[in-house]
Each structure stands twice: as C-alpha cells, then as structure tokens.
Amino acid sequence: MENPGRNPKSSPSPVLQGVLPFDRSRLPTEMLAGLTFACLAIPEVMGYTKIAGTPVITGLYTILIPMALFALFGSSRNLVVGADSATAAITASALAGMAVSGSSEYLALASLLALMAAVLLIAARIIGLGFLADFLSRTVLVGFLTGVGVQVATGEIPGLLGIEASGHGTLARLNDVYLNLAHISWPTVFVSAAVLGVVVASTMLSRRIPGPLIAIVGVIYCSWAFSFETIGIAVLGTVPSGLPSLSIPNVDWSWTLFKQLLPTALSIFVVILAQSAATSRAYAARYDEKFSEDTDLIGLGLANFGAAFSGTFVVNGSPTKTEMVASAGGRSQVAQLTTVAIVLVVILFLTKPLAYLPSAALSAIVFLIGLKLIDLRGLTTIYKQARSEFWVAAATAAVVVLVGVEQGIVFAVVFSLIDHTRRGYRPKNAAIVKTENGGWHSKALTPPNQFEPGLVIYRFSHGMYYANTQRFTNEATAIVQGSDAKPEWFCIDASAIDEIDFTAGYALRSLVEFLHENGIRLVFTLVEPDVKAELDRYGVTDLIGEDAFFDTGNRLLDAFDKRSAAS
C-alpha cells in the first residue's frame, strides 16, 4: 500500500528508495546528522542490551547490518531501524525462563526470535497483511509503551543502587529492592546520580547536546583513572571487538521450540508493524514525501534477517531514533548509512575502553529511556478527550506492568479490536427530518421522527453485520410502532453502510415481511453499488423491487409525493 504525498520523492528502483534521488548539496548536512545520531544512539543501544539481556556488543550490532539493510531496501527516507525498548522488553520477557541472561544460548534464542519476526514480516508482505498495522490503535499504543516504560525504569532501580534483584516482573523486582535496601552500594549510587545529572542537564540546555555520550565517556575515564572496580563499583569487563560473525542461530531446531516462541514472535511482529508504520506515516506527512508500507515490510524483514544472522536481537522502526535524526537535519537514509560507518569504526577499534564502563552508568541510561516512554501527557490528553479510551490505555499499561510485556501487546490488540467492535455494535443511528426551510436534519429516533407525514427516513451509521443487526431490528420496530402516525414508507438512508453480511441480509428480509404485514413499504436511498450487489445476493431486492432504490433524496421525495397523489 503506497502513501502518496503532494511532492513525490521516491526512487523507481526497488532499492535505495530511501536515498534516491539525492541532493548532493545536502551531503554535509546528512553526514553531520549521522554523526550526531551515532553519538546519541551508541550509548542508548548499549542500554537496550540490558533490557534485552544480551551482551553489550550486540547493541552496536543492531545499528550495523540491520540498519544498513533497511536503508538500502526500505522506502521511507526518515524511518530509523535499530534496537527498540518495546521489542527488547518483549524478548527479555519471553526468554527469562528459557536460558541464562547474557549466555550464548540466550543470545541464540534472541536471534531466533529476530529470524521468526523476519519471516513473519516477509510473509505479511507476500500475502498482503500490512493492514494489520491499523489494528493497534493510538490509544492502546500509548498505554502499551507507558507500561513498558514503567517496567523498564523500575527494572533498573537495583542497578542504580548497586544491589542484587533476582525476581522477574515489576512487583517482584521492587520487592527485592525493598528487601535489600540495607545492602545499597553508595559509590554505585554516586555514579548513577552523576550520569543522570549530566544527561538531564545536557537535555535541559539543548536536545542536540549528546548528553548520554558525554556521561559515558566521562564515567569511563573516571573508572579507568580511579579503578572503580576496586571500590566495589561493578564494570562491564572485556567487550569483544571486530565484526559480527555471520551464522545461523545455534539452537535446537525443533517444532517444540518454534511453538514456544511463536506467540512472542507474533507479538514482536505486531509491535514492529504498528510502530514502524505509524512513524513512517508521520514523517512522510511532515516532509510531504511518499513511502510504501509494502516495501518497508521487506526492508524491516531483511533488517531482522540481518540481526538474526549477525548474532543480535530484534530491530524495529524507532520513533525516538527517527526524531533524533530529523532534529539533527537528516532527511534521507544517507544519515543512517553514515551512522553505520561510524559504528563500524567503533566496533573495530574502540571497544577496549568499554571494559571500564560501570554497569550503573548503563542502568542510568536505560532508566531515562524508560522514563521517556511513560507518556503522561498522552494519557492526560486521552483522558480529557476520550474518557472510555483512556481506561483502555490504562488497562493496557497495567497489564504490561503487572503481568508482562508479551501479554500486554496481546491485550492491546484484543482491546483495539473490541473497541472497534463496540463502536460498530452500537452505531449512533438517527432519523432524518425536515427543517423549517425544507432542508434535511438528523435527530434522535424518538417521535416526531417522520420527514413528511407517512415517510420515515432512518439513517444507519455503520456497516450492517451480525453484531448490530439486533439493534437495527429493535430500532426499526420501535420507529414503526412508536410513531405519532402510521408510516407508509420506511426508507433506509444507506449512505454510511459500506457492507451487509449474511446475518444482516436475513434481518432485512425479516424487516420486509414485518413492514409488509403492517402495510408499510421498505425503500432505500444512497446505496453504494457494492452494497446494492449484496442486497441482490441476499434476496432483498427481489422482495422490494428495483424501483425501491433512489440515488438522491429528491428522487425519493418525488416518488413518495407521486405515490400519495396517485392514492
């Protein structure tokens, strides 16, 4: 599905759509944006490894081959694909009881999840399932990400305090913190506070200042100079350098394992689909550009193949990283390719200093990532503007925090569908009546509800399907039996009806019989061709006749007046 803009800027080639056509005069700006993004993203993706439970180097791997593959094969000029807190949290939640966090077996399972997500994304493109992105509403996405933020932030409290916490889940982790308050490491707390202070102060001064990078570089130097490890501050230790080895995930390739991981892979797939599509749409609209969701599915699938075969975890279209690049002046995937080149240099030559990085520093970075995900402003807006949807968002956040991330995304999708069904189940139907100057006006179904004496025009404001046919039948019956004067024609305004299913077809045939027994004729106005074909197929047209359909309101009124004159 292509999303057109007024100023097309897409390449006809199946590759490099996010790069071509390229304005050479923008190359310095794009490269500077890529450098700025690298400074911000490198400490952030290392923090994501704490969320995902994988070695630190795997965070850098997520912005190497995966990011390059999407830049080459995706269509969005702005979407940044890399490690993401939501999918990292889902990964950790699923693998917590299957292997020891950080072990080679754990990493292999994380890579397998990336491989399964890649297969699902490519399959979605082949069979046309890109529309599934629309089934995760903005409301539940706000609630879901808020819940993830709470879980991520609270999960880092033990690391900030330098205490052990073995419990899984938000409440268990907080309980461990409470029980171990006597064992707080104050040197670790000092390091955590210093990192938090530097990052927050940098952000307050300017969002373009790479606060996380400044904090990480500073604390690494202090750790090396003052031997933090000797005073009880835990550090990362040796971080391997060099390019990732390309290989298939080393797991037990059994159907049992696939069945165990499939629900998690599906959850990850839905998050990638919804979050990436929403971000691409937003930035394509902002910069008046085109992008193809189908092409992006291929790009996202290949990016996750790259993650799986390069020994890292799931990657996703990230709204926060996309905004980082955009605010730095990046307007094409050239900025992301520049970041890839910088990360390549870091991986090859600059991993040794990471051995001195205190674990508490990463906990501080991840803690701030979690806080950023807690969207109190979004929740407040939803509460003010759509109270019922706020409770859906709040329930989604609560499920993520109290039960788990994986269950939260399933809950979010189910609640989005329930919310959609609820709206269709209880459509706000109306009677059309005449205004004082002879125009048309909708009002409640209660009497007086006739357009003219003897003519009822009933507007049904949703597609007719099995869940709302009983409401349709009840309202139609109440209109007929509760009118001040007995109607002669009962007209259904079908302008808002886009489909009629089998159950609704049966209900319409029953209504025809009921109206006929009461001496009332059923007619339609403003019927779409597809809906007319469905009425033909269900036998409704045979019962009321072809002359019972009017393509304008005036023709309906003319026919009713002529019928009255003939009588």
CA distance 98 to 103: 11
Most confident residue range from 58-62, 139-143, 273-277, 371-375: 58-62
Over pLDDT 90: what percentage of the chain?
A: 46
Crossing angle between the packed helical segments 359-373 and 211-226, to the nearest 10 degrees: 160
Q: How much of the chain, in percent, has pLDDT values that exceed 70?
A: 94
What rounded mean pLDDT belongs to the chain? Answer: 87
Section 475-498 average pLDDT: 88
- Residue 9, pLDDT above cutoff 50: no
Question: Could you tell me which residues come within 8 angstroms of residue 300 by beta carbon, excluding any fewer than 6 positions away?
Answer: 70, 74, 81, 121, 272, 276, 315, 316, 317
Q: Domain ranges for the chain, please list them.
A: 2-6+26-254+269-420, 430-566
Q: What is the pTM of this model?
A: 0.72
- C-beta atoms surrounding 232 within 10 Å: 11
Asked whether residue 162 carries a pLDDT value surpassing 50, the answer given is yes
- What is the DSSP secondary-structure string of 438-501? S-EEEE-SSSS--SBTTEEEEE--S-B-TTTHHHHHHHHHHHHHH-SS--SEEEEE-TT---B-
pLDDT at 310 over 90: yes
pLDDT for the residue numbered 194: 95
* Positive/negative CA dihedral, 251, 64, 51, 277: negative
The third-level CATH classification (topology) of the domain covering 430-566 is Transcription Regulator spoIIAA (3.30.750)
Q: What is the pLDDT of residue 484?
A: 67
Contact 293, 280 (CB under 8 A): yes
Residue type, 520: I
* Mean pLDDT, residues 94-113 taken together: 93
Answer yes or no: is pLDDT of 143 > 80.
Answer: yes
pLDDT in tens, 41-84: 888 898 889 889 999 999 999 999 999 999 999 999 999 999 98
Instruction: Categorize the per-residue pLDDT at 313 as very low, low, confident or very high, splitting at 50, 70 and 90.
Output: very high
Q: Residue 535 pLDDT more than 70?
A: yes
Lowest mean pLDDT, pick from 112-116, 167-171, 369-373: 167-171
Q: Quick check: 7 pLDDT over 70?
A: no
pLDDT for 57 equals 93
For residues 416 and 136, give the distance between their C-alpha atoms in angstroms, rounded to a whole number: 6
Q: What pLDDT score was predicted for residue 265? A: 94
Burial of 105 by CB count in 10 Å (0-12 exposed, 13-18 middle, 19+ buried)? middle
CA distance 307 to 91: 13
Q: What's the token pair of residue 90? A: 């889902």
Torsion of CA 51, 328, 286, 3, to 10 degrees: -60
Task: Calculate mean pLDDT across residues 287-295.
Answer: 84
Mean pLDDT of 513-533: 93
pLDDT in tens, 405-447: 767 777 777 777 777 777 777 888 988 888 877 778 888 888 8
